[in-house]
Amino acid sequence: MKMNSAQIEQTLQQFQAEAVPAGHPVVSQLERLFGEHTYFLDDKGLNIVEPVDEDQDGGRQAVVVNLADWNDKRVKNSLEPHPPEVTNLVINLEADLPH
């Protein structure tokens, strides 16, 4: 899922990660490997956020999916891809925007 800036901000308030900027040179390589998504790096590795099928309480929800783990968790400079792993982290994408 490609996210807009409000969705990215809302996600980062609920997920201890860093969004990979859309213009970063690595994004084209990631998109060739995994498709068009907004990518996030955290202590575990590379992640995306995918919508959950059903809306809960009328809000849009999504789940964090891990795509690759760090080869060395201390250095964090190389990722090892693996089959997508759905995590237990559910993100509420309904931003509480100020009026």
Task: Name the residue ranges covered by the structural domains of the chain.
Answer: 5-92
Residue-wise pLDDT for 15-65, tens only, equals 999 999 999 999 999 999 999 999 999 999 999 999 987 655 556 899 999
pTM of the model: 0.88
What is d(CA 7, CA 22) in angstroms, rounded to the nearest whole number?
Answer: 14
Residue-wise pLDDT for 62-82, tens only, equals 999 999 999 998 888 999 999
Please name the helix (run of DSSP H) or strand (run of DSSP E) that holds residue 48, with its range, or none.
Answer: strand 45-51
pLDDT over threshold 70, residue 92: yes
What is d(CA 80, CA 70) in angstroms, rounded to the nearest whole number?
Answer: 6
